[in-house]
A = this chain, B = another copy of it.
Amino acid sequence: MNELEVFKALSNQTRLQILRWLRDPDKHFTPQGHSFTEVGGCVGQIQQKCGLTQSTVSEYLALLQRAGLVTATRRGQWTYYKRNDEAFEQLGKFVQSTL
């Protein structure tokens, strides 16, 4: 875990919001063939909810992925992003015991 990269990823209101949505995808996204709890949410739906352009949201999600906070799954033409629960668990412990 690159702590600086992680904190930078978390230093943006929109990205924090996205992570909160992904905490409970079924509540915030409407299914489209795949279970959201399984694969997460797709770029398009996330984009609509935050109101930024497609390219910006795509970059944000890639950035969150690089930081290890979400994982990506390609299903056909869609990419689903899912919260990486373990990363948050680890980060929480790191903040308390090492940082």
Contact = CB atoms under 8 A, between A and B. Distances in A.
Contacts of A44: none
A88 B92 contact: no
Contact of A92 (B11, B12, B23, B95): B95
A91 interface: yes
Contact of A11 (B7, B20, B23, B96): B7
Interface string A58-86: 00000000000000000000000000000
A10 B4 CA distance: 7
A3 B23 CA distance: 17
A99 B20 contact: yes
A44 to B, nearest CB: 24
Complex A-B, nearest 4 residue pairs according to Cβ-Cβ distance, in ascending order: A92-B96, A92-B95, A7-B10, A92-B92
